Every structure is written in C-alpha cells, then in structure tokens.
Chains A and B, each alone.
Chain A
Amino acid sequence: MNNLILRVVSKILIPLIIVFALYVQFHGDFGPGGGFQAGVIMSAAIILYALVFGLDAAEQVIPSTLLRVLASMGVLIYGGVGLVSLLFGGNYLNYTVLASNQIAGQHLGILLVELGVGITVFSVMLIIFFAFAGRGRI
C-alpha cells in the first residue's frame, strides 16, 4: 500500500499507542486499566502497522514463533508467581509472602501477574490476527 498520509500518520501514532499501552499496563494499580487492556492496546499498535505496511513487514517486527513463545510465557509468569508463593510457604497466588511486608508483596505480585496477563493477551491477539489475515494470501 502506498498511501503517504496513512504511512506518516501511523508512524506518528504507533509510538504513542505503545507508550499508552505501557502506561495502562504499569499504571493499572492506580488508574483504570491493567494487563488485559494494555495487551489489547499494544497489539492494536502492531495491527495498525500490519494494516498500513503489510503483513510481511509486521511479521518481521514480531515473528510468529516469538509470539507463540510469548503467549505461553505470559501464562507461565502468572502460574510461576503462584508456585513461588507456594515455595515461600504461602497459599497458591498469595503474594504476601513474596516480599518482606504485606503491601510490598501484594504490589510485586499484582505487578508480575498483570505483566503475565498483558504478555499473553498481546501475543494471542496478534496470533489470531495473523492467522486470519494470513489466510488471504496463500
């Protein structure tokens, strides 16, 4: 696609979308948002890139093998936080034991868990998008 305006505008927008996704991800404790929303917004940035610059360019940015690894890694991070809290002597997914006091432990646990959610949602959305969009050009 050779639409100059689309290319320029999306090149300006994509970094902003990514920064906003990171803000939603890591500010979810304080404002609206969290892993689910951040993952979707982050994948929207890549989808915009794919729509304007083509699927092949987008797959060079994020190869589909990497996406599969990331999707599993998000779930592993989430489950891993639970296992670590088991090892530290708490219940599964009880973050209090992760740090010296309850507030710090809960903060750390929620941050890690939301990160896992964000990574999985981001990569699964892109996996689905690439699967749908890739069908058309065999």
Chain B
Amino acid sequence: MIDVIIDVTVLAFLTITAVAIVRMTNLFAIVMLFGIFSFLSAVMFIGMDAVDVAFTEAAVGAGISTVLMLGTIALTKDRKEKYPGGHRPWLPLAVVIVTGATLVYGTLDIPAFGDLNAPSQKHVAPYYIEKSMEDTGVPNIVTAVLASYRGFDTLGEVVVIFTAGIAVLLLIGGRRRKSDVAGQAGEDDDE
C-alpha cells in the first residue's frame, strides 16, 4: 500500500516538473528542474529496490549533467528563442497523442511489476540469484553481474565513455592552443 502511495506521489511530482520545464523560458530554472526530475527518478528507482541504478541517476543525472548544462548555458545564452510565427500545435499534438496511446497500449501486455513468471525473471536471473555468491563470493549480485558475468558488456561501456571523452576533446578541447594564440596576438600588438 505504502509503495503505491509513494509511486503515485513521485509520478505526480514528475509530471508537474515536466510540465513546468515545458512552460518555462528561463533556461537556468529549467536546468535546475532537470536536476529535480533526476532526483525524483532516483526516488522511483529506490522504490523499485534498484539502489544501484538510483545511485547512478542521482550522481550522473542530477550532479554531472546539471553542471555540464550550466556550463553550456554560460557559453550560449540563458533564454529560449521565441517561437517563429505561424506555428500550429495540432499536428505535433496528434503525433504525440497517437504515439503515447500506442505506448500505453503496448504496456497492457507487459507482465506486472515483480511478476515471478515474467520472461525476464525466468531466463538467467534465477541462476544469478542462486549461484552468484557461490561463483564469485560477492554479496552484491548487481556487482557480480556487472563486473564478472557481464564483464564484456562493462568493458564496452567503459570504452564508450572513453570514446565520449575523446570526442569532446576533439570537438571543443584545445583551449590551451587558443589562449597561446591570444597571447601571441597580444604580444604582436605591443610590438
């Protein structure tokens, strides 16, 4: 019962935050609301007993990405553009409603949350739950799956993060070179 109350409350807050984000024009406030949205999602994950996911969401979603978006705002500007004239909301609204209705229709076939007979519970999950302590001696099953059973996937994830870092460096790194150029230009002016 208490689970349902928490879920409904958090979902209501999520919806309110999302509507507020859509209606606001001040990008600074929107970034703050994104952070709140991430924290609320983390609360939902805790309600589903997925503490590891909640942890990541709170650290990455609410922490790092908020800072990165603030950095981007500092580089660009802090207000939305005005919509160009002649904008009609009806076609996008229809697309959104149809897509949303399809998604809701799709959820009707999904097994209930925590259903023991759901396919995802029948596949390899029972093996992990029964044998992971025996196989790895690690009490946290999530860590055992992430680092040992699914070590290849995690290696791929780390390489993805590494690649993201390289891509950012290639695109907007190299600040030193620019400040060197600026310094040289200043010296030229002095001469």
The B-contacting residues of A in range 1-56, CB under 8 angstroms, are 24, 28-34, 36-37, 40-41, 43-44, 47, 51
Interface residue from A28, A107, A120 paired with B161 (Cβ < 8 Å): A120
Check: B154 CB closer than 8 A to any chain A CB.
yes
Cβ contacts under 8 Å, A24 to chain B? 55
B-side interface mostly: helix
Check: B92 CB closer than 8 A to any chain A CB.
no
Cβ contacts under 8 Å, A89 to chain B? none
Nearest A residue to B147 via CB reads A110
- Count how many chain A residues have C-beta atoms less than 8 Å from C-beta atoms of the other chain: 53
A47 to B52, CA, bound (A): 23
Would you call B75 and A44 a contact (CB within 8 A)? no
Would you call B148 and A103 a contact (CB within 8 A)? no
A68 to B63, CA, bound (A): 22
Would you call A37 and B55 a contact (CB within 8 A)? yes
* Binary interface encoding of chain A residues 99-138 relative to chain B, with 1 for a CB under 8 A from any of its CBs, else 0: 0001100110110011011001101110111011111101
A121 to B56, CA, bound (A): 12
Min CB gap A30→B, angstroms: 5
A95 to B135, CA, bound (A): 11
Would you call A127 and B169 a contact (CB within 8 A)? yes
Interface residue from A32, A36, A102 paired with B51 (Cβ < 8 Å): A32
Nearest B residue to A114 via CB reads B147
Check: B24 CB closer than 8 A to any chain A CB.
no
Chain A residues within CB distance 8 Å of chain B: 24, 28-34, 36-37, 40-41, 43-44, 47, 51, 64, 68, 71-72, 74-75, 78-79, 82, 92-93, 95, 102-103, 106-107, 109-110, 113-114, 116-117, 120-121, 123-125, 127-129, 131-136, 138
* A-B CB contact pairs (8 Å), 7 listed: A24-B55, A51-B67, A64-B176, A110-B136, A124-B164, A129-B68, A138-B182
What 9 pairs between A and B have smallest CB-CB spacing? Answer: A124-B165, A103-B137, A132-B71, A134-B175, A106-B136, A93-B151, A32-B51, A40-B59, A110-B147
